[in-house]
Amino acid sequence: MGLRRPLRHPVPPTPVPRAPATGWPPGPGGGVTRRQMLLGSLAAAGGVATIGALGGCSPATVAAGGARPLSYWHLLSGGDGVVMAGLVEEANASDNGYEATQTVLAWGAPYYTKLAMASVGGRAPDVAVMHASRVAGYAPGGLLDPWDLDLLADVGVQEGDFLERVWEKGTLDGNVYSIALDSHPFVLMYNTDVAEQAGALGDDGRLVPVEDPETFLEVARAMQGVTGGHGVSYGYLGDGAQMWRLFYTFFKQHGGEMDLSGDRVQVDTDAAVASLEYIQRMLDGTVCTPNGDYGTAVSEFVTGGSGMFLTGVWELPTVKAAGIAFDAQPIPTLFGTPAAYADSHALTLPHQNDPDPEQRRAAYQFVADLLQNSLPWAEAGHIPAFQPVVDSAEYAELTPQVNYAPAAEILNYDPEAWFTGSGSDFQAYFLETVQNVYLEGADPAEGFDAFVRRVDVQLAKPNPV
Rounded CA separation 55/186 (Å): 34
Domains of the chain, with CATH numbers?
34-181+344-391 (3.40.190.10), 186-342+409-459 (3.40.190.10)
Confidence band for 35, pLDDT divided at 50, 70 and 90? very low
pLDDT in tens, 243-285: 999 999 999 999 999 999 999 999 999 999 999 999 999 999 9
Whether 313 contacts 185, CB under 8 Å: yes
Confidence band for 191, pLDDT divided at 50, 70 and 90? very high
pLDDT of residue 65: 64
Give me the mean pLDDT over the 51-78 stretch: 68
pLDDT of residue 61: 56
Rounded CA separation 74/84 (Å): 9
Confidence band for 113, pLDDT divided at 50, 70 and 90? confident
Cis peptide before 10 (omega within 30 of 0): no
Rounded CA separation 159/427 (Å): 30
Residue 176 pLDDT more than 90?
Answer: yes
Rounded CA separation 123/351 (Å): 9
Residue 62 pLDDT more than 80?
Answer: no
Q: pTM for this structure?
A: 0.86
Confidence band for 365, pLDDT divided at 50, 70 and 90? very high
Strand, helix or coil for residue 243? helix
Compute CA distances 10 → 16, 17, 98, 382, whole Å. Answer: 18, 20, 19, 18
- H helices present in 47-170, as ranges: 78-93, 109-120, 135-138, 149-154, 164-169
* Lowest-confidence segment of 4-13, 190-199, 357-366, 396-405 by average pLDDT: 4-13
Rounded CA separation 99/188 (Å): 39
Residue 168 pLDDT more than 90?
Answer: yes
pLDDT in tens, 278-327: 999 999 999 999 999 999 999 999 999 999 999 999 999 999 999 999 99
pLDDT of residue 436: 97
Whether 137 contacts 463, CB under 8 Å: yes
pLDDT in tens, 200-229: 999 999 999 999 999 999 999 999 999 999
- Kindly report the number of other CB atoms within 10 A of residue 320's CB atom: 14
Give me the mean pLDDT over the 171-192 stretch: 97
Ramachandran angles phi, psi of 379, nearest 5°: -65, -25
Whether 416 contacts 261, CB under 8 Å: yes
Confidence band for 119, pLDDT divided at 50, 70 and 90? confident
Whether 83 contacts 10, CB under 8 Å: yes
